[in-house]
Amino acid sequence: MNSFGFALQFSKNHAVKAWLCCLFLPSLLLLQSCEDQIIGPPLVGPLGDERVAVLCEGNFMWGNAKLDVLSTDTSGTKIWNNAFESVNSKPIGDVLQSGLVAGNNLFLSVNNSGKVLALDPITLKQTKSNTTLKSPRNLLMVGNQLWVSDLYANKISVLDTSNLKTVKEIPVSGWTETMVRWGEFVAVAAYKGEVLLVNPTTQVIERTFKVDSGALHLVVDAAQQLWVGCSLNGKTSLTAFALGQIDFMEVAHWKMTGDLGSIQLSRNGGTLFVSRNNKLYSFRADAQSEANMSMLIDPKLTQLYGYYYDLGANAFYFADAKDYVSNGVVLRYPMDDPSKKSFHSTGVNPSFFLRLP
């Protein structure tokens, strides 16, 4: 595998930068910022009213992925660092890609280790695993089965959630990423520039339509429009499709510059959020053009590597990857009172967040 192949596997949006940073670790560590961005003592267990898991990718081939947990209550926000290893007495593996809370499980996709883990979402104790996958990316519950997209396998794996064994493989062509339910279909983002519409019952691809190259992110808004976020080589786009009774049509296509992060929904689903150029933007689902997109928050981070909107708490979580090899930082930003924002040191390359029960 060439160096570009390594870089692709390591990360979604900034893989090439991250891989190159690994080559210059000694210099980067000397330049690491010493500013104090940690408040409050660390947690020793799953406490607090608002618990959010922070998935830290680590570095490709370093096996240093971490799972941290932020906990917020009336006394403030604290962090439980390296929670998975503390509970299970073993590391997670290599590149913690994504996760999903469903039923009584916290599922984790560990990309370069080729595995999906199931944890008790309260205690974080591992209960099941599937270690036979190639390069798992994103997860979606479809009925009582767990679908897993993949970077290299040319298939979507369907797992039985009772034991995490593979029960079906859906053939696809190339790298697949985010999956969402859209009307009668499961929509799948294919990185080469397609959206696949899969029948969830027959598990067969019934339709495919073209989008821009670098398709990564999907979300369905309150009006049942499918938004597709594409980002490749600094060229990005957002495209919206409306699904009718017989067919679907493109209702928006916005082209922009700069890396594009995930698309997430507001409380009512009528406003969408997207990260771009180290800032968070918002726009209405019925916006007529990209000119209607406005900057919502500038978290002033070194490298905005992921974010999450917690609907219940009306708070944003922003991940700062720093130099891609040092410990990262997460900013919790409560919209009701931004003066109570707080910074917390995490594992390397925090990128994905999950609300825990």
Cβ atoms of residues 199 and 185 within 8 Å: yes
Contacts of 256 (CB under 8 A, 6+ apart): 236, 237, 238, 276, 290
> What pLDDT score does 48 carry?
54
Q: Where are the domains positioned within the chain?
A: 3-356
pLDDT tens digits, residue range 172-212? Answer: 999 999 999 999 999 999 999 999 999 999 999 999 999 99
pLDDT tier for residue 245 given thresholds of 50, 70 and 90: low
Pairing outcome for strands 204-210 and 294-297: unpaired
> What pLDDT score does 342 carry?
98
Nearest to 128 by CA among 88, 80, 68, 155: 88
Domain at 3-356: CATH code: 2.130.10.10
> What pLDDT score does 5 carry?
39
> What pLDDT score does 23 carry?
38
Which residue type sits at 123?
Answer: T
> What pLDDT score does 213 carry?
96
Q: How far apart are CA 53 and CA 71, in angstroms?
A: 9
> What pLDDT score does 14 carry?
41
Lowest mean pLDDT among 45-49, 316-320, 334-338: 45-49
Cβ atoms of residues 81 and 70 within 8 Å: no
Q: How far apart are CA 217 and CA 259, in angstroms?
A: 12
Cβ atoms of residues 238 and 255 within 8 Å: no
> What pLDDT score does 125 carry?
98
Of 20 and 222, which is predicted with more confidence? 222
Cβ atoms of residues 155 and 174 within 8 Å: no
> What pLDDT score does 258 carry?
84
Q: How far apart are CA 174 and CA 249, in angstroms?
A: 25
pLDDT exceeds cutoff 60 at 27: no
Q: How far apart are CA 156 and CA 148, in angstroms?
A: 6
Q: How far apart are CA 218 and CA 264, in angstroms?
A: 9
Give the Cβ contact number of residue 5 at 10 Å: 12
> What pLDDT score does 234 carry?
86
Nearest to 311 by CA among 289, 330, 336, 328: 336
pLDDT tier for residue 42 given thresholds of 50, 70 and 90: very low
Q: Which two tokens stand for residue 303?
A: 């490298």
Average pLDDT of the chain is 88
